[in-house]
Amino acid sequence: MAAVFRSTVPRCVPVLYRRAHCISSLREIAREEIGKIKDSGTWKSERVITSKQGSLITVVGHQQLEILNFCSNNYLGLASHPHIIAAAQAALQKYGAGLSSVRFICGTQDIHKELEHKIANFHGRDDAILYPSCFDANAGIFEVLLTDRDAVFSDELNHASIIDGLRLCKARKHRYLHLNMSDLEQRLREEKNARLKLIVTDGVFSMDGDIAPLDKICELGDKYNALVFVDEAHATGFFGKTGRGTEEYHNIIGKVDIINSTLGKAMGGASGGYTTGPKELIDLLRQRGRPYLFSNSLPPPVVAAGIKAFDIVLNSNNLAERLRHNTKRFRDAMTKAGFTIGGSDHPICPVMLYEERLASVFADEMLARGIYVIGFSYPVVPNGKTRIRVQLSTSHSDEDIDKAVNVFVEVGKKLDVIS
Ligand SMILES: Cc1ncc(COP(=O)(O)O)c(C=O)c1O
């Protein structure tokens, strides 16, 4: 034993030197990158919340204050809704914490099938497939669907997960100008011989709160024989009259071919994503979708929370109506106060500031006065398009909104953003 140990010592020394050298190179490279990010004023620090998600939260370092939260995707206030919590607790008791398996091995429970049916019915589609997240749903779909015989047309401001998903597929890629239908049409015209043509767009763009002209996109789809895919992460459950999303907002329910969306925003806020559309596509994704095949099944409490969220939305439109009221109240008051608010008609309200450093200073000043908002800067938004993204929720009261506006005005004047 001792002889073996002695003989390994000399071999270990260079290994240790090599590791130390590699680690110190890694640290140096990372430090350099971090330095550049900090110098450019785009460093993102994470604040630590010590309460449930909701309109009122507590934040480490600010325990003395009641903080009003205006930056979550908890659009319908369901993240801490008592019925959602009760459903998740009951599922935890009955089905356990998780499956320790992917779906096709032993990770499918009856509630996974129930949620998939519920999603498909909600959107009026054949079937649905669950993923650990919408990021995964977007990362998985294009590689399965599109080959080098196909062409894809993607809005230049689509979500990062769509961009990553498209990188994995071999189709010819066209990045059309944001919301620009003549650019899209021009590119569709160029692709006469593609086997499949697929137009890909966010329904609502998360950084700008602007809305895809889905009616026009579907018309172009009909004209050029192209399929239409929409990511409804910022629309499902609340956008459009009954929360069916961007299709409903444009009065074209059923026109879009494939919908991806998330359970991690309006629909309970836990996690999970899905694709819903033609049965054959869903069947194929179950066989070939890599984030589905090679990642764990959604945990039962998350699935039960998702089922309950769809039940709540299906039973009443009150939450979505309240959200529309809140959105209008905030947008109107802020515009009147002299701020430039991006997008339209949507609870994502980007308060445009343009200067990189200003956004984080502005957000800190807001937090010190009890309003939690976050500055968004490069690379999350383009250089020079820095903003504070406010997101309204059903759980905000009129008083909450008025308080936020008053604080915006106070800080805006202090920092010379408005006069
Ligand atoms: C448009 C859009 N698509 C997809 C996602 C990813 O959703 P998830 O959090 O479920 O991965 C997001 C979240 O930021 C998004 O805004």
* CA angle (26, 29, 32) in 5-degree steps: 145
Shared domain for 177 and 199, answered yes or no, is: yes
291 in a structural domain: yes
User: Does the C-beta of 206 come closer than 6 Å to ligand 1?
Assistant: yes
Per-residue pLDDT at 69 exceeds 90: yes
Distance of CA 122 to the CA centre of its chain: 20
- Residue of 53, 138, 159, 298 to test ligand 1 pocket, by largest number of atoms within 8 Å of CB: 159
Share of the chain above pLDDT 70, in %: 97
Give mean pLDDT, residues 50-74. 91
Shared domain for 210 and 341, answered yes or no, is: no
Whole-number Å distance, alpha carbon 190 to ligand 1 midpoint, is 31
Whole-number Å distance, alpha carbon 154 to ligand 1 midpoint, is 16
Per-residue pLDDT at 3 exceeds 50: no
Q: Which amino acid is at 232?
A: E
Shared domain for 303 and 324, answered yes or no, is: no
Q: What is the mean pLDDT of the chain?
A: 94
Identify the band that residue 263 occupies on the pLDDT scale cut at 50, 70 and 90.
very high
Whether 388 contacts 363, CB under 8 Å: yes
Shared domain for 60 and 100, answered yes or no, is: no
Domain end position, chosen among 284, 315, 346: 315
Whether 394 contacts 75, CB under 8 Å: yes
Shared domain for 215 and 345, answered yes or no, is: no
Please tell me which residue, 64 or 263, carries the higher pLDDT value.
263
pLDDT of residue 13: 67
Give mean pLDDT, residues 60-71. 88
Please tell me which residue, 76 or 40, carries the higher pLDDT value.
76
Residue 161 CB-density burial (10 A; 0-12 exposed, 13-18 middle, 19+ buried) = buried
Low-confidence winner among 39-48, 245-254, 286-295 (lowest mean pLDDT): 39-48
pLDDT in tens, 295-320: 999 999 999 999 999 999 999 999 99
42 in a structural domain: no
User: Does the C-beta of 261 come closer than 6 Å to ligand 1?
Assistant: no
Shared domain for 230 and 278, answered yes or no, is: yes
Whole-number Å distance, alpha carbon 162 to ligand 1 midpoint, is 9
6 in a structural domain: no
For ligand 1, atom 16, which residue shows the shortest CA distance? 206
Give mean pLDDT, residues 258-266. 98
pLDDT of residue 8: 55
Give mean pLDDT, residues 362-371. 94
Shared domain for 145 and 98, answered yes or no, is: yes
pLDDT of residue 6: 52
Whole-number Å distance, alpha carbon 93 to ligand 1 midpoint, is 29
Terminal-to-terminal C-alpha distance of the chain:
80
Whole-number Å distance, alpha carbon 233 to ligand 1 midpoint, is 6
Shared domain for 253 and 307, answered yes or no, is: yes
For ligand 1, atom 7, which residue shows the shortest CA distance? 134
Whole-number Å distance, alpha carbon 27 to ligand 1 midpoint, is 30
Shared domain for 228 and 267, answered yes or no, is: yes
**Do the strands 258-262 and 273-277 form a parallel or antiparallel pair, or are they unpaired?**
antiparallel
Known catalytic residues? 206, 234, 265
Shared domain for 274 and 130, answered yes or no, is: yes
User: Does the C-beta of 134 come closer than 6 Å to ligand 1?
Assistant: yes
User: Does the C-beta of 262 come closer than 6 Å to ligand 1?
Assistant: yes
Q: What is the CATH number of the domain that holds 356?
A: 3.90.1150.10
Residue 13 CB-density burial (10 A; 0-12 exposed, 13-18 middle, 19+ buried) = exposed
Per-residue pLDDT at 347 exceeds 90: yes
Secondary structure class of 266 (helix, strand, coil): coil
pLDDT of residue 356: 79
Q: What is the CATH number of the domain that holds 301?
A: 3.40.640.10
Give mean pLDDT, residues 177-197. 97
User: Does the C-beta of 72 come closer than 6 Å to ligand 1?
Assistant: no
User: Does the C-beta of 231 come closer than 6 Å to ligand 1?
Assistant: yes
Shared domain for 238 and 294, answered yes or no, is: yes
User: Does the C-beta of 376 come closer than 6 Å to ligand 1?
Assistant: no
pLDDT in tens, 372-388: 999 988 878 888 899 99
Alpha helices in 257-384 (DSSP H): 279-288, 290-293, 300-315, 318-337, 356-368
386 in a structural domain: yes
pLDDT in tens, 74-128: 999 999 999 999 999 999 999 999 999 999 999 999 999 999 999 999 999 999 9
Give mean pLDDT, residues 28-55. 91
Atom number, ligand 1, closest to the C-alpha of residue 206? 16
33 in a structural domain: no
Q: What residues make up the domain containing 357?
A: 56-69+317-414
Domain end position, chosen among 262, 285, 315: 315
Identify the band that residue 40 occupies on the pLDDT scale cut at 50, 70 and 90.
confident
pLDDT in tens, 139-170: 999 999 999 999 999 999 999 999 999 999 99
Domain end position, chosen among 315, 337, 352: 315
- Residue of 158, 206, 271 to test ligand 1 pocket, by largest number of atoms within 8 Å of CB: 206
User: Does the C-beta of 202 come closer than 6 Å to ligand 1?
Assistant: yes
Give mean pLDDT, residues 325-331. 98
Whole-number Å distance, alpha carbon 359 to ligand 1 midpoint, is 23
pLDDT in tens, 223-241: 999 999 999 999 999 999 9
Sequence-distant (≥ 6) Cβ neighbours of residue 262 within 8 angstroms: 133, 134, 233, 236, 272, 273, 274
Please tell me which residue, 355 or 93, carries the higher pLDDT value.
93
Give mean pLDDT, residues 337-363. 93
Identify the band that residue 10 occupies on the pLDDT scale cut at 50, 70 and 90.
low
Shared domain for 62 and 187, answered yes or no, is: no
pTM to 2 decimal places:
0.93
Per-residue pLDDT at 173 exceeds 70: yes
Total domains in the chain come to 2
pLDDT of residue 12: 64
On the question of a cis peptide bond just before residue 14, with omega within 30 degrees of 0, the verdict is no
For ligand 1, atom 12, which residue shows the shortest CA distance? 233
* CA angle (398, 400, 404) in 5-degree steps: 115
Number of H helices, E strands in the chain: 15, 13
